[in-house]
Amino acid sequence: MREAQTNVEFLTKQTELKKIELVERDLESKRMMSDIVLPKDQQEKLTHIRENTSDLMHKAGYLHSEINERVNRLEAKTEYIKLQKLLMDIEEKERNLEKKTSKDKGGKPK
């Protein structure tokens, strides 16, 4: 589970670096393009590509959030099961102690 979480964190960092790289490229290309007037069809194509990129980034963000939530849920379930088992063990030990103390009290002469 920790390995999966580490992998998710690593992929998150990689994604963030890739986003920064893309933004830097986009800024550079916008700077270069501001001096050049493109034909309408090329401008529309670029707009379409930007929209697709935006959609993909939203989907990637959603998947990242879903993965984080599922990891959190898995950790919570694991912790819950571990605590349930610990509680059952404690209750069993308490019952055993109760039996021993009731035998000791009833079995000793006064």
* Residue 109 in domain: no
What are the phi and psi torsion angles at 53 (to 5°)?
A: -60, -45
* Residue 64 in domain: yes
**Cα–Cα distance, 17 to 9 (Å, whole number):** 12
**pLDDT tens per residue, range 6-58:** 888 888 888 888 888 888 888 887 777 676 777 889 889 988 998 998 899 89
Instruction: Assign 37 to helix, strand or coil.
Output: coil
What are the phi and psi torsion angles at 4 (to 5°)?
A: -65, -40
Residue 35's domain comprises 2-104
* Residue 110 in domain: no
Q: What is the mean pLDDT of residues 90-95?
A: 96
pLDDT band, residue 110 (cuts 50/70/90): very low
How many structural domains does the chain have? 1
**Residue ranges in the chain assigned as alpha helix (H):** 2-34, 40-107
* Residue 32 in domain: yes
First to last CA, the chain: 58
